[in-house]
Amino acid sequence: MPELIPAPVETYGGPGEGFALGPGTGLAVVGEGAEGTARWLRATLGAATGFPLTPADGTGGNTVRLTVDPLLTGELGAEGYRLDVTPTGADLRGGGPAGLFWGAQTLRQLLGPDAFRRAPLPGRTWRLPPVRISDTPRFGWRGLLLDVARHFMPKEGVLRYLDLLAAHKLNVLHLHLTDDQGWRIEIERHPRLTDIGSWRARTKFGHRSSSLWEAKPHGGHYTRDDIREIVSYAAERHITVVPEIDLPGHSQAAIAAYPELGNTDAVDTAAVTVRDDWGISPHVLAPTEAVLEFYEGVLEEVLALFPSPFVHLGGDECPPGQWRKSATARARAAELGLADVDGLRSWFAGHFGAWLAARGRRMIGWDEILDGPLPPGAAVSSWRGHRGGRIAARAGHDVVMCPEQHVYLDHRQAPGEDEPVPIGYVRTLADVYRFEPVPDGLTAEEARHVLGAQANVWTEVTEDAGRVDYQVFPRLAAFAEVAWSPLPAPAERDLADFERRMGAHYRRLDALGVAYRPPGGPCPWQRRPGVPGRPFAGPPVEPEPPAPVRADARPGASRENPPVTSPKRVNRTHPEMPV
């Protein structure tokens, strides 16, 4: 079998030596819908091989033919493809433009690791093996969350990650744009969100318990044109960019920029600055009409920039301490008929979920939004384990599975002392490969609500592109196969075959310049000696989803740095939602 990642559904080897590409090889676009893939192949393979891949009519030999074939749509779906390689050429057909593009990713892998370089190496020959591949993804949502709020990643880095996602047939980039530590998207009507909210004076170096600080300003933001470029670049690669605007918690940077957004009758919001530490901030949005109007304006600009059907609104980790001290918040809770101010978080989610729905978009939020009634059409990101996904699916809500016990890529990759700033559980390449997105106990109908899976990389302790690479790769390759390929049950998966195929994939990552974690452990320059982390002992556990964080709770626990679960800890049982 060819060393492909993710593994195709069906692969059949043929006789002979396959098809040799050369300077005279043509690229034929047959019918409509294939032009985008042709442009990408000509630019990418043309750079690596030095061949022009000149346009051809598709009737002769020595040609790579690209076709969007509606007949394949019913068989393999719009993201499916079929690739046939014979001695005279390669015939690539997609059920839709996206399927054709994913097939082109497979074709590139078949040419060998040097096909991932940006310029030709002398003496290379290029040959596709004789093969027939029929392929289609298991899930429609195959995503990566990139947290650019805690440590800003410049636009060029985001574009690079879109290429890396495409190379692994991943089709969603969840861009975490706002948080306590920074606001990263230009909002024209509220310029202080970036003038003030995108910069912090210093940054905690390491885990929040660290005594180390990087005493220089950190920040940056994307202009509206930057966002347009990112979204367009993603669309050319059949990737949807899902924006996240956090509310009503994780909002300290916004309150630092516009103090009137906070609970002014409970705290001196004029003294609030952009947060320079990790963990959960006590500063949350005030439940006023002015705040609703402010964020509706923000979201109007977000919707104009992002065509994604989903908008992520956070909805998690909102300590109610300031609301309890605020007469305004207490009066609002009483006016709404809420038992206490704790219900204001769900009220925010309901308001903006309905607001998005009225504009043809869908809210998605972290699984804390299950604490209250979900707006129609709202979807859930299940991060605290599988149980939130199970509850949502049984209640008829769509869900994206991203449990921190399995696919939080900021968690450490090995138990050794050399792991840089070790956070959370040990999640090896093999562990990620054995992740099963569909919660057990669901009926076939309920399981259809599992849109797919997402790996999350939070960047509190990943301060630059090299550290992000180290945490994401090679584990993203295992995740990509989980999300794409029809794998058996976790215990029955052929880890040895996957590791064999990774031998070729490491060379692809080398050609792409990815600073991945080597199989034998970190290189000396990847380590962070003396920078404290927070490793969790033992295998990961999936507790009952905890109660909303209270003002008097132990500070700092968060979705990025979840609390250690012990047998003595009591968790609130999530109320089962009606089917």
pLDDT grade for 548, boundaries at 50, 70 and 90: very low
pTM: 0.94
CB 210 within 8 A of CB 204: yes
Residue 568 binned pLDDT confidence (cut-offs 50, 70, 90): very low
573 has a pLDDT exceeding 50: no
Flag whether pLDDT at 578 surpasses 90: no
**Strand-by-strand arrangement of the 81-86 sheet:** 10-13, 131-135, 81-86, 89-94, 63-68, 26-30, 54-56
Query: Own/partner pairs for 152-157, CB < 8 Å, 24+ apart?
Result: 152/182, 152/184, 152/198, 152/218, 152/219, 152/220, 152/221, 153/459, 153/465, 153/468, 154/220, 155/222, 155/226, 155/229, 155/230, 157/465, 157/468
- Judged by average pLDDT, the poorest of 171-185, 370-384, 445-459 is 370-384
Considering the candidates 3, 179, 460, 469, report the single residue annotated as catalytic: 179
17 carries an active-site annotation: no
pLDDT for 561 equals 46
66 strand-pairing partners? 29, 92
How confident is the model at residue 560, as a pLDDT? 45
Residue 2, pLDDT score: 81
Average confidence score pLDDT of the chain: 93
Q: Inform me whether the pLDDT recorded for 117 exceeds 70.
A: yes
Task: Quote the Cα angle for 240-436-8, to 5°.
Answer: 65
**Looking at the predicted structure, is the pLDDT value of residue 115 above 50?**
yes
Residue 563 has pLDDT above 50, yes or no: no
pLDDT at 538 over 80: yes
DSSP state string for 186-220: --TT-THHHHTTTEES-EE-SSTT---EE-S-EE-
Q: What is the largest CA-CA distance in the chain?
A: 80
Terminal CA-CA length for the chain: 44
Residue 577's pLDDT is: 26
The CA distance from 449 to 174, in Å, is: 19
Nearest Cα residue to 491 out of 443, 437, 435: 435
What pLDDT does 14 receive? 83
Token pair, residue 547, equals 């109660």
Q: What would the mean pLDDT of 131-145 be, rounded to a whole number?
A: 98
pLDDT digits (tens, 9 = 90+) for 269-285: 999 999 999 999 999 99
Average pLDDT over residues 143-150: 98
- Both tokens assigned to 288: 């006023």
Q: Is residue 178 over pLDDT 60?
A: yes
Neighbours of 276 (CB within 10 A): 17
Report whether 13 contacts 129 (CB < 8 A): yes
3-state secondary structure 96-150: CHHHHHHHHHHHHHHCCHHHHCCCCCCCCCEEECCEEEEECCCCCEEEEEEECCC
Exactly one of 69, 91, 317, 342 is catalytic; which is it?
Answer: 317
* Known active-site residue 179: yes
Q: Angle at CA 350, nearest 5°, toward 349 and 355?
A: 100
What is the share, in percent, of the chain residues with pLDDT greater than 90? 90
- The whole-number pLDDT of residue 545 equals 52
Bridge partners, 203 (sequence order): 214
List the beta strands (DSSP E) in 281-339. 310-314
The whole-number pLDDT of residue 375 equals 84
pLDDT greater than 60 at residue 430: yes
For residues 356-382, give the mean pLDDT: 95
Question: Among the options 250, 283, 411, 574, which is catalytic?
Answer: 250
Tell me what percent of the residues of the chain surpass a pLDDT of 70. Answer: 93
| pLDDT score recorded for residue 544 | 62
- 293-352: pLDDT as tens digits: 999 999 999 999 999 999 999 999 999 999 999 999 999 999 999 999 999 999 999 999
- Mean pLDDT of the 59-82 span: 96
Predicted local distance difference test score (pLDDT) of residue 376 = 84
Q: Is 225 a catalytic residue?
A: no
Measured distance CA(454)–CA(456) in Å, rounded = 6
Whether the upstream peptide bond of residue 540 has omega within 30° of 0, thus cis, is no
Question: Where do the H-state alpha helices sit in 408-550?
Answer: 429-433, 444-447, 465-472, 475-484, 495-512
Whether the predicted pLDDT of 558 surpasses 90: no
Mean pLDDT of 139-146: 98
| pLDDT band of 16, cuts 50, 70, 90 | confident
Total Cβ atoms within 10 A of residue 298: 20
546 has pLDDT over 70: no
